[in-house]
Amino acid sequence: MAQIWNLDAKLPLKGIYQNDDRVTKAFTYELLTRNGVYSVFNTLDRDLHRAKRKLVGHAFSERSIRAFEPALIQQVDVYLKQLLESSRKPVNMTQKLGHLAVDIVAQLALGYDLETQIREDNRFFPRAMTLSFFVGNISHHFPIFHKVHTNMVFDYIFYATRERFIRLIEKMVRSRLALDKHAKPDFYSSVAHALPSEAAKMRDSVVWKEAMVFLVAGGDTVATAMTAAFFYLSRDPACYARLAKEIRSTFANGNDIKSGPQLGSCQYLRACIDEALRMSPPVSANLWRQQVATDEEPLVIDGHYIPRGTLFGVNIYSLSHNAAIFPEPFTFKPERWLPSSTADPKAAEADEAARKLMLDAFASFSIGPRNCVGKPLAYLETSLVLAKSLWYFDFEAASGPLGSVGECKDRGRPGEFYMEDVFSSTHDGPFIVFHPRESVSLEKDLDTRA
């Protein structure tokens, strides 16, 4: 298996990921399915993918997201209440935001109250998702293991966890199907009109496959984005102060923090999120691609001839840390994403050219027809959580040994959030201490929102 690393950033990204006439997802994606039933994520066939993408896209239209937002805010309120209860004590943000994100995505997929934020019993669910990423990632990078049925070995070792995970999803799907199509503002409600009336076994059904993708793709990733943002902000007083000032001067009260022009005007918030996504891309695997089987012409990308059967891709982490595009790539600098503020027209032109180069190379959600369909929701969720956290609290890194959990020490970069690639990412920390702001009352706002 060959691989193209992104040494010259400009071309291979588009040539690979925006070239769906000639390039498709690699066969390794198909190894992630069982029973030959594909989801929007792992289907290779271009026409089937387009149809599925159109279907799934309904859940992310502006209208659907607006309808879903109150359910999202309800989950964020649970998180805020818990921060209040644990004021002045260190909070492990990997756990806290992991629970929040999975509760949100369970609401989004199937209107289900997973309640990992408040109850212990379903907390195996995010752990099981990470496990499924881990096992799938092995086949994705080493398909030979799949051939020798390594997945069956993992199935055997993790049988109990896998069965528990699948039974819970089955319960979620069944309880949703028992309700009226439009009983909840969720994915099912957005797509129910277009679903086949299925006689298929539950685990082979379209609802099952797509809901499963939502749960796996939309929980862990957003949790990592938010956690990384807290890591960097708690270590950079200047960025923290600038963001706090922006949030606290944009809104008149906490109930106003929702989607709309005010949230949209928070340019520095968006810059902080993009910078966290660049520094710590939640999907850190190589997204392998291959030449479309029916394409008979030689494939040349960015001057590289790609022999038939080769898997190739651009690694998002390495691209995001290419110093020729992102100067000082290991420094958290949200300002790099802001429009130029210099009065000198020549300098402004150069700044804008540099910014365009970065925007073209920003691939944390990938690009092209297989890019992330959940991107608008991911931004909304991350923006709301950061803005509301800063509205109701001041926060800082914990002191003592807990304060350094999450730092990347073994590569000599303590300023970087340490993550491990399991297709998505595993991590721990940071531990953050929250102090309620005296000038605002979360309890009062929660009462008015209830």
- Write out the residues near ligand HEM by the rule CB under 6 A: 40-41, 53, 56, 105, 108, 213-214, 217-218, 221-222, 225, 282-283, 287, 364-366, 370, 372-374, 377-378
Nearer to ligand HEM, 132 or 221 (CB): 221
Smallest separation, CB 50 to ligand HEM (Å): 9
The residue among 220 and 445 lying less far from ligand HEM, judged by its C-beta, is: 220
| Among candidate residues 372, 59, 49, 65, the one with its CA nearest the CA of residue 188 | 59
Which residue has 């959580």 as its token pair?
385
Nearer to ligand HEM, 284 or 433 (CB): 284
**Environment class of 95 (CB within 10 Å of its CB; exposed 0-12, middle 13-18, buried 19+):** middle
In this complex, which beta carbon is closest to ligand HEM, that of residue 25 or of residue 235? 25
CB 279 within 8 A of CB 406: no
Report, in Å, the least distance between residue 40 CB and ligand HEM.
5
* Reduced 3-state DSSP string for 182-250: CCCCCHHHHHHHHCCCCCCCHHHCHHHHHHHHHHHHHHHHHHHHHHHHHHHHCCCHHHHHHHHHHHHHH
- Residue 209 or 445: the one with the smaller Cβ distance to ligand HEM is 209
The secondary structure of residue 431, as a DSSP letter, is: E
Nearer to ligand HEM, 40 or 247 (CB): 40
DSSP code for 398: P
* Cβ closest to ligand HEM, residue 64 vs residue 221: 221
Shortest spacing between CB 442 and ligand HEM, in angstroms:
26
* Nearest to ligand HEM of 62, 447 (CB atom): 62
C-beta of 313: minimal distance to ligand HEM in Å? Answer: 9
Query: CA torsion, points 362, 366, 367, 370, in degrees to nearest 10?
Result: -170
CB of 105 to ligand HEM, least distance (A): 5
- Write down the least CB distance from residue 196 to ligand HEM, Å: 19
Q: Could you tell me the two tokens for 184?
A: 């909840």
Closest residue to ligand HEM in the complex (CB): 374
Contact predicate 256/295, CB 8 Å: no
HEC secondary structure over 59-106: HHCHHHHHHHHHHHHHHHHHHHHHHHHCCCCEEEHHHHHHHHHHHHHH
Q: Which residues contact 305 (CB under 8 A, 6 or more apart)?
A: 298, 299
Give the pair of three-digit tokens for residue 63: 């209208």
* Cβ distance to ligand HEM smaller for residue 244 or 372: 372
Three-state secondary structure of 103-167: HHHHHHHHCCCCCCCCCCCCCHHHHHHHHHHHHHHHHHHCHHHHHCCHHHHHHHHCHHHHHHHHH
Q: SS3 helix, strand, coil % of the chain, rounded to 5? A: 55, 10, 35
The least distance separating ligand HEM from the CB of residue 426, rounded to whole angstroms, comes to 15
Q: How far is the CB of 106 from ligand HEM (least distance, A)?
A: 10
User: What is the closest distance, in whole angstroms, from the C-beta atom of residue 89 to ligand HEM in the complex?
Assistant: 27
408 is in an annotated binding site: no
Residues 6+ apart with CB under 8 A from 164: 124, 128
Contacts of 433 (CB under 8 A, 6+ apart): 88, 89, 90, 91, 395, 396, 397, 398, 399
Binding residues, by number, are 372
Binding residues for heme, by number, are 372
